[in-house]
């Protein structure tokens, strides 16, 4: 159970219900809030980045903020094994595997692969999963559609064998996990109050807060937290796989569940999902997205990934081009991580000459 830094103006009931939640301190917080001038020129906006790619070492990325709450819940319930799922290069699976190893928990990962007969590629996230000693079970895309049932089945058989399993949904995206991003917005409020967001107005210093959306938990937490802590006028979740309608429903559901856990959050927020930059498929970036990623790395040293953050940044650029985000807007982009996935995707970067 952590003690939160005081925040002036925060309702006592909100603070008390956040403090009451069991939470492990696993991430390196607060993450930096950076002004990136090279992005100002490229996007025509005043761009800041919240460096949630720097939440940790090998466990870094957005998932650790959710796992601080989810794994605390697992321990509070006396569980000894965590079960979760994801794509083969899932950042969430990797963060879970490494944090489970750190806490002395066993970890079962159901990873979606194109061919279950093929050996796993020992690269990127998978390499880290294997190093963490995770019990990896390959499943097909068809089986993955019933992932919650599959994880429940695994939990049942582990329980019969005398273990105490804890199931973490895809992406750690449920009401409890999403509160990790309410707390991230609270952290941002502290940074803004300390003057770390430049000379913007302290009340709603950003016009837009933008981030990638893959399972909806980050979006739900940002939506609730950005409103509660007056961070931005609008939160835009850039979808990387499903369409806007699907994600809006999912995010609203997760946000409702989060509000049931922390009742002083305002449940009346409507998600804003932008699906213009989903790219060719989940995990596959377009030529334009890869070129943008390379250009940003070269001009700013900020490394995005082709599965999530590169698409979100491309979506933001398209939104400015369309006029959906006005030129000159103050934009806060959350860099949610994903570096291991990039390092496993070198073959997609044919244009880079060595």
Ligand X SMILES: *Cc1c(COP(=O)(O)O)cnc(C)c1O
Task: Give least dist CB 328 to ligand X, A.
Answer: 26
Catalytic (active site) residue 300: no
What's the angle, vertex CA 157, arms to CA 214 and CA 134, rounded to 5? Answer: 50
Task: Give least dist CB 240 to ligand X, A.
Answer: 7
Chain-centre distance of CA 270, in angstroms?
19
The three-class DSSP label of residue 167 is: strand
* Both structure tokens of 123: 């690269």
Under the criterion CB under 6 A, does residue 337 sit at the interface with ligand X? yes
For ligand X, the closer of residues 282 and 349 by Cβ is 282
Under the criterion CB under 6 A, does residue 212 sit at the interface with ligand X? yes
Residue selected from 31, 215, 269, 329 as contacting ligand X according to rule CB under 6 A: 215
For ligand X, the closer of residues 63 and 106 by Cβ is 63
Under the criterion CB under 6 A, does residue 214 sit at the interface with ligand X? yes
* Cβ-contact 38, 86 below 8 angstroms: no
Under the criterion CB under 6 A, does residue 92 sit at the interface with ligand X? yes
For ligand X, the closer of residues 207 and 305 by Cβ is 305
For ligand X, the closer of residues 158 and 178 by Cβ is 178
Under the criterion CB under 6 A, does residue 213 sit at the interface with ligand X? yes
Residue closest to 51 by CA, chosen among 315, 332, 352? 332
Burial class (CB in 10 A: 0-12, 13-18, 19+), 162: exposed
Report the relative pairing of strands 135-139 and 106-112 from DSSP bridges: parallel
Which of positions 157-176 make contact with ligand X (CB under 6 A)?
Answer: 171, 173
Chain-centre distance of CA 276, in angstroms?
19
* Annotated catalytic residue within 8, 90, 248, 329: 90
Beta-bridge mates of residue 34: 49
Residue selected from 62, 84, 125, 269 as contacting ligand X according to rule CB under 6 A: 62
The three-class DSSP label of residue 112 is: strand
Under the criterion CB under 6 A, does residue 61 sit at the interface with ligand X? yes
The three-class DSSP label of residue 347 is: helix
Which of positions 296-325 make contact with ligand X (CB under 6 A)?
Answer: 305, 308-309
Which of positions 219-258 make contact with ligand X (CB under 6 A)?
Answer: 219
Length of the chain: 354
- Residue 329's CB: how many other CB atoms inside 10 A? 21
Footprint of ligand X on this chain (CB under 6 A)? Answer: 61-63, 91-92, 171, 173, 212-219, 305, 308-309, 336-338
Which residues are known to be catalytic? 90
């Amino acid at each position: 159970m952590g003690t939160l830094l005081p925040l002036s103006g925060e309702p006592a009931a909100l603070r008390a219900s956040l403090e009451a939640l069991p939470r492990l301190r696993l991430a390196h917080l607060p993450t930096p809030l950076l002004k990136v001038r090279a992005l100002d020129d490229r996007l025509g906006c005043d761009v800041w980045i919240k460096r949630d790619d720097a939440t940790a070492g090998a466990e870094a990325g957005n998932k650790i903020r959710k796992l601080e709450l989810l794994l605390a819940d697992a321990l509070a319930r006396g569980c000894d094994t965590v079960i979760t799922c994801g794509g083969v290069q899932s950042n969430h699976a990797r963060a879970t595997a490494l944090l489970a190893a750190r806490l002395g928990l066993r970890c079962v990962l159901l990873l979606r692969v194109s061919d279950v007969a093929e050996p796993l590629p020992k690269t990127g996230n998978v390499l880290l999963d294997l190093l963490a000693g995770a019990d990896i079970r390959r499943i097909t895309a068809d089986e993955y559609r019933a992932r919650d049932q599959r994880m429940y089945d695994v939990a049942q058989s582990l329980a019969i064998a005398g273990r105490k399993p804890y199931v973490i949904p895809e992406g750690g995206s449920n009401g409890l996990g999403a509160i990790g991003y309410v707390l991230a917005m609270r952290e941002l409020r502290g940074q803004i109050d300390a003057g770390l967001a430049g000379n913007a107005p302290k009340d709603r210093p950003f016009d837009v807060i933008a981030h990638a959306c893959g399972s909806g938990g980050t979006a739900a937490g940002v939506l609730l937290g950005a409103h509660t802590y007056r961070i931005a006028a609008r939160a835009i979740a850039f979808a990387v796989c499903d369409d806007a309608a699907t994600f809006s429903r999912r995010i609203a559901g997760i946000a409702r569940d989060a509000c049931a856990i922390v009742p002083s959050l305002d449940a009346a927020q409507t998600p804003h999902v932008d699906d213009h930059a989903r790219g060719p498929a989940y995990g596959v970036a377009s030529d334009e997205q890869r070129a943008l990623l390379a250009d940003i790395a070269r001009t700013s040293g900020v490394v995005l990934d082709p599965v999530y953050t590169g698409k979100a940044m491309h979506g933001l650029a398209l939104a400015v081009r369309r006029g959906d985000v006005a030129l000159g807007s103050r934009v806060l982009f959350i860099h949610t991580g994903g570096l291991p996935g990039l390092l496993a995707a070198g073959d997609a970067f044919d244009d880079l000459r060595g």
